[in-house]
Homo-oligomer: A and B are copies of this chain.
Amino acid sequence: MTEQPQNDEARHAAKMAKKKAARDKIMATKSGEKGLIIVHTGPGKGKSSSGFGMILRCIAHEMPCAVVQFIKGAWQTGERTLIEANFSDLCQFHAMGEGFTWETQDKARDIEMAQKGWEKAKELIRDPNIRFVLLDEINIAMRYDYIDVEEVVKFLQEEKPEMTHVCLTGRNAKEPLIEAADLVTEMTLVKHPFRSGIKGQMGVEF
């Protein structure tokens, strides 16, 4: 009477052993390491927060890293507070933007700030000690042509040190950047609480 569950367990173990063997075989071919160009785009949540999740991993592994925030610079976000207060030795934080373009209403000023952010980004990416650079919301600045996407792609391809990871976030990532990237994730919005009158909340959105 107890044979049935034992058979089930044996079948499960055999199936999983087979799956593991197949997976191990695949993983054995994935031996390369290189600095990645990572893009988080799309209308869904999680583009910036997963960028900061990776920054957290870098800090944990004591990999020097840096953040340039292109749009949300006027806000004292939680991630900025935490990093500046605890990990400024491992992670440089540069908040360059002054808000979304409909907040500033000053195109010349927006362009100037975006360009300043891009200059800082280049300096950080070139720095051989820095292993991971997060360019938060830079895709928005490229979308409005405040920064030229072709220039960004050319720089990443020609001047980024081989082992440095660069993560570029923001919706509407342009095609040349997606082409050049190694790892692209599109965050798709399935359901959003704004639709039912809930505002952005501490911990979740900022």
Contact = CB atoms under 8 A, between A and B. Distances in A.
Which residue among A59, A78, A104 has the maximum number of chain B CB atoms within 10 Å of its CB?
Answer: A78
A78 B60 contact: yes
- Listed from nearest, the 4 A-B pairs whose CB atoms lie closest are A49-B53, A60-B78, A46-B50, A184-B190
Nearest to A26: B194
Contacts of A165: 201, 203-204
Interface of A: 8-9, 12-13, 16-17, 19-20, 23, 27, 29-34, 36, 38-40, 42, 44-54, 56-61, 63, 65, 77-79, 81-82, 86, 101-108, 131-132, 165, 178, 181-194, 196-204, 206
B42 A56 contact: no
A16 B100 CA distance: 10
Contacts of A50: 45-47, 49-50, 53
A16 B81 CA distance: 29
A102 B16 contact: yes
30 contacts: A9-B108, A12-B105, A13-B107, A19-B102, A20-B103, A27-B199, A31-B197, A32-B197, A33-B198, A34-B193, A36-B198, A40-B46, A42-B188, A46-B46, A52-B53, A53-B79, A54-B203, A56-B56, A56-B78, A56-B82, A58-B203, A59-B82, A60-B77, A63-B203, A86-B86, A132-B203, A165-B204, A181-B191, A183-B191, A185-B187
A42 to B, nearest CB: 7
Given A61-B203, A78-B58, A105 B16 contact: yes
A102 B36 contact: no
Nearest to A30: B199
B44 A185 contact: yes
Contact of A9 (B31, B58, B104, B107): B107
Contacts of A102: 16-17, 19-20, 23
B188 A186 contact: yes
